[in-house]
């Protein structure tokens, strides 16, 4: 038997028992693996539902343009459906979203406009505002507005909730899900609580989001809002799809815990999922005292890990944010293994003959070039030789006349792999600023010594 098109494969995703990562939780923990949807995320469900409802209501007409603000997954679902149904897509997203998500949207023929993250929703530059402006300016266009479009939660009420109920044979006692637009958790919760009002619905929030405090106090506190890294959950406003009456508790998870747990899921369970899944499992473990033997906990795994290769699955990205500490050599440890010596620099106004004297005296092959104490370039032994062979009269010219681009700067947490990749025939060293603001230089020789253990 075959399907008539890819949209018919949406839904009926598997429920998989978690074992190693949840060993300290007395309950049975099952993950709803939404990565098996054709767009690799749970958002396929609501994207198709929103489009079908808009068609029924005459809001989306043949040849129309779908315009939406999206973190990537909803856009993928919309773009996929648009291809089958003959619509164009324009998406706005934020600059905190992974490059992989943006690239995936463009692979489906969508136009993607990247907007700044750290602005108010009402700011004309925000991805909410830009998408609304484009709708006003584009003939025959429609904005799904996934945050306030109740077709979002209805999709999960009609599909995801019944699937979970059937797959657990009605034994589910707890639902754990990240809360972003609110459609997933609210739609599933509505269906499950209609079957059994005692089912506990636990929402995962992030620091920098307003949900938890609003649930507990009824106060929308703008002081709760600040930039965060975690993708797919949390908001700085209250979407209509978030039904606080259906969510029994919100648990906040830090960016660091979410990012590291995202990696742990693949390492311990062999399930390759994204950032919001990491948040959900980290929150689940924080709430372990809520569960007892005999409980059946279902946690939603919304999307695929491939959309986070440049972030949660990139060790240098994690180190730059202080999320990852391990035994692999970094710029910090390479410097620590070096003999303490002050870096030699030369001012850009010094002459080339003076630079030659410095190189001979100190037996070095390259010197960073400074202007008013700031590194602006470099000169190398081979560069000086090439310049003088071409024009011997340059001997009395200032160093800046032959200086080339500066050595790359790296962070103290940059891994040895990244540093090695930056050192080549054009860049024979990298620079790093230590905790005291002093500039250090790392050469290939320093890397070899650090690896071999030579002081």
The residues annotated as belonging to the active site are 43
What is the chain's percent helix, strand, coil content, to nearest 5?
40, 20, 40
Specify which residues 430 forms β-bridges with.
442
User: DSSP per residue over 97-156, as a string?
Assistant: S-HHHHHHHHHTT-EEEEE-SSS-TTSTTSHHHHHHHHHHHSTTEE---TTT-THHHHHI
d(CA 262, CA 275): 6
SS3 284: helix
- What's the farthest any 2 CA atoms get from each other in the chain? 89
Tokens of 305: 């890990």
- φ, ψ for residue 96, nearest 5 deg: -90, -10
Give the burial string for 305-326 (b: 16+ CB within 10 Å, else e). Answer: bbbbeebbbebbbbbbeebbee
Q: In 235-328, which ranges are continuous DSSP H helix?
A: 255-269, 275-286, 315-320
């Amino acid at each position: 038997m075959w399907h008539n098109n890819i949209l018919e494969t949406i839904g009926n995703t598997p429920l998989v028992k978690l074992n190693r990562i949840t060993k300290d939780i007395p309950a049975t923990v099952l993950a709803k693996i939404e990565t098996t949807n054709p767009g690799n995320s749970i958002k396929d469900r609501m994207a198709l539902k929103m489009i079908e409802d808009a068609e029924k209501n005459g809001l989306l007409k043949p040849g129309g343009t779908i315009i939406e603000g999206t973190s990537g997954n909803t856009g993928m679902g919309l773009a996929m459906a648009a291809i089958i149904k003959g619509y164009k897509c324009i998406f706005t997203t934020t600059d905190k979203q992974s490059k992989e998500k943006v690239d995936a949207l463009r692979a489906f023929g969508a136009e993607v406009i990247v907007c700044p993250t750290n602005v108010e929703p009402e700011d004309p530059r925000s991805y909410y505002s830009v998408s609304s402006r484009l709708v006003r300016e584009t003939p025959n266009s429609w904005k799904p507005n996934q945050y306030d479009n109740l077709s979002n939660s209805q999709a999960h009420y009609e599909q995801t909730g019944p699937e979970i109920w059937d797959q657990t044979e009605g034994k589910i006692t707890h639902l754990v899900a990240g809360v972003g637009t609110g459609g997933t958790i609210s739609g599933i919760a509505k269906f499950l609580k209609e079957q059994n009002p005692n089912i506990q619905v636990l929402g995962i929030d992030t620091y920098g989001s307003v949900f938890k405090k609003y649930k507990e106090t009824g106060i929308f506190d703008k002081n709760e809002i600040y930039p965060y890294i975690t993708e797919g959950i949390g908001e700085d406003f209250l979407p209509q799809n978030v039904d606080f009456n259906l969510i029994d508790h919100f648990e906040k998870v830090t960016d660091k815990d979410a990012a590291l747990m995202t990696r742990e899921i693949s390492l311990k369970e062999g399930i390759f999922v994204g950032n919001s899944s990491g948040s959900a499992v980290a929150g689940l473990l924080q709430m372990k005292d809520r569960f007892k033997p005999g409980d059946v906990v279902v946690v939603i795994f919304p999307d695929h890990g491939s959309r986070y290769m440049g972030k949660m699955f990139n060790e240098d990205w994690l180190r730059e944010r202080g999320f990852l500490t391990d035994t692999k050599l970094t710029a910090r440890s390479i410097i620590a293994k070096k003999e303490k010596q002050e870096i030699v620099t030369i001012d850009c106004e010094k002459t080339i003959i003076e630079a030659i004297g410095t190189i001979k005296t100190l037996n070095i092959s390259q010197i960073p070039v400074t202007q008013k104490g700031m590194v602006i370039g470099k000169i190398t032994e081979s560069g000086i030789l090439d310049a003088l062979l071409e024009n011997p009269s340059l001997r009395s010219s200032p160093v800046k006349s032959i200086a080339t681009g500066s050595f790359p700067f790296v962070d103290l947490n940059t891994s040895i792999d990244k540093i090695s990749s930056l050192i080549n025939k054009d860049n024979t060293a990298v620079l790093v600023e230590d905790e005291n603001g002093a500039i250090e230089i790392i050469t290939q020789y320093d890397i070899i010594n650090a690896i071999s253990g030579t002081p």
